[in-house]
Amino acid sequence: MASPKIFGIVLAGGEGKRLMPLTADRAKPAVPFGGGYRLIDFALSNLINSGLRQIVVLTQYKSHSLDRHVSQTWRLSGLLDAYVASVPAQQRLGKRWFSGSADAILQSLNLLRDEKPDIVVVVGADHVYRMDFSQMIDAHIESGLGLTVAAIRQPIALANQFGVIELDANDPNRIAAFHEKPEKPVGLADSPGEVLASMGNYVFDADVLIDAVIRDGERSDSNHDMGGDIVPDFVSRGLAGVYDLNRNNVPGSTDRDRFYWRDVGTIESFFDAHQDLISALPVFNLYNREWPIFSQQLNSPPAKFVRDARGYLGTMIDSIVSLGSLLSGAHIERSVLGPWTVVESGAMVVDSVVFERARIMPNAVVRKAILDKEVVVEAGASVGVDHDADRARGFTVTETGITVVGKGVIVS
């Protein structure tokens, strides 16, 4: 029997309001992450490592930098019709934009009709994780169901942050109900302190996906959302299965990071995900060579650490420093520095995330902050030290005390 033809769809049209101001000038999947990556690189790396070779990225909101990143970074050879293609909203069904993730697929059905796949893998573009989708595809085929939803175990106390899956009492691989952010969740039978949360990743039989989005498009009472409308429709018809990430075995993973998954849709989760990268034994390991996370390889020199005019080399503790960066007599601690970052004599960067081409000048202090690209912190200035002063300067300060400075701002 011939192997089924698999097609990948990455949903990358989201606006990302909760990540403002990082999404003021870019789509959420294009937000830099971990120094040299963009958020979309994790979804695409997982699909490519899983063996998918025909993948489209559906884009819409402020997509220029995202489209450019996909075209420059994700160029496959073209052999055997392999490609990763960015597909903007085409308005094929009228003069309107995507009204939801299901509508994005509905307006892009020409892609499925052209390729005629047997199975479609649909994933989000703003989660940090590793996953071998080939194992989920095998489980989906074995189930005989039209839809399989990827799920991860989360503490029951966090259930109100996720779409929570209730399992069928007679078949633990089938979904009995789907609850969006429940206030009174019920724990799993084998682990009462946990629930199964949807990861926003799905495997469909192609024909039933096409039928589902067409029917959804005809409904006036639908938000045209994959998680909010399409999945509940399959559940109501008894056609939805679940794939517990605990079943997934990614090559090179460790007990510490095997089941790591984080939705980085808020400033707090984005910041915390960076903190997960920097310890000696990281919660999420970027250095797994058996399942690499791919991204654009910048034509940049190595990072450089030099003594300042006082002869002081500076210190770097539990941090990531990207290509092209230059550090001179500065103190860097528990931070992630993007490409071509300059940190000068006597400056201090602690518990922070710094995007590319930022400059922290002599004796400046950056503490518990996120600096977008090309931000300049002038000599002696500070960010994240006095939250009232940060707010007065127009910077975003979260409830947990993270200061965010937008692209190209000069901090004096």
Q: pLDDT tens digits for 175-201?
A: 999 988 888 888 888 888 999 999 999
Task: State the pLDDT confidence band at 70, using cuts at 50, 70 and 90.
Answer: confident
User: Sign of the CA dihedral 167, 140, 54, 288?
Assistant: positive
**What pLDDT score does 77 carry?**
66
262 φ/ψ angles, rounded to the nearest 5 degrees? -140, 130
pLDDT by residue (tens digit) across 54-69? 999 998 888 888 888 8
pLDDT of residue 29: 92
394 annotated binding-site participant: no
User: HSE-up of 126 (CA within 13 Å, CB side)?
Assistant: 24
Instruction: For residues 247 and 173, give the distance between their C-alpha atoms in angstroms, rounded to a whole number.
Output: 12
Total Cβ atoms within 10 A of residue 412: 10
Separation of alpha carbons 180 and 167, rounded Å:
14
Query: Considering the chain, what percentage of its residues have pLDDT values greater than 70?
Result: 97
> What integer best gives the mean pLDDT of the chain?
91
> pLDDT tens, 124-167?
998 999 999 999 999 999 999 999 999 999 999 989 888 899 99
Q: What is the DSSP string of 87-98?
A: EE---TTSS---
First CA to last CA distance, the chain:
67
3-state percent breakdown (helix, strand, coil) of the chain, nearest 5: 25, 30, 45
Q: How far apart are CA 106 and CA 364, in angstroms?
A: 51
- pLDDT tens sequence across 209-242: 999 999 988 888 888 888 888 999 999 998 999 9
Beta bridge pairs of residue 8: 55, 121
Burial zone of 110 (CB within 10 Å; 0-12 exposed, 13-18 middle, 19+ buried): exposed
Instruction: Judge contact between 163 and 181, C-beta under 8 A.
Output: yes
Return the SS3 of 209: helix
Could you tell me which residues are beta bridge partners of residue 37?
33
Tokens for 360?
């922290």
Q: How far apart are CA 109 and CA 8, in angstroms?
A: 13
Contact 399, 364 (CB under 8 A): no
Is the pLDDT at 1 greater than 60? The verdict is no
Q: How far is CA 312 from the centre of its chain?
A: 38
Per-residue pLDDT, 7: 96
Per-residue model confidence as pLDDT tens digits over 94-117: 667 676 788 899 988 999 999 999
| DSSP code per residue over 335-354 | -EE-TT-EE-TT-EEES-EE
368 labelled binding-site residue = no
Sheet strands (E) in 277-357: 304-306, 314-317, 320-321, 326-328, 330-333, 336-337, 342-343, 348-350, 353-354
Answer yes or no: is 198 a known binding residue: yes
Measured over the CA atoms of residue 165, residue 170, residue 174 and residue 175, the dihedral's sign is negative
What six digits make up the tokens of 70? 């996909």
Domains of the chain: 6-275 (3.90.550.10), 304-411 (2.160.10.10)
What residue type is 286 in one-letter code?
Answer: L
Question: Which residues partner with 175 through β-bridges?
Answer: 167
Phi, then psi, of 396 in degrees rounded to 5: -80, 130
CA atoms within 13 A on the CB side of 213: 25
53 CB-side CA count, 13 A: 10
Helix (H) or strand (E) holding 238: none
- Structural contact between residues 330 and 345, judged by C-beta atoms closer than 8 angstroms: yes
Is 373 annotated as contributing to ligand binding? no
Q: How far apart are CA 216 and CA 220, in angstroms?
A: 9
Backbone phi, then psi, for 128, in 5-degree steps?
Answer: -110, 120
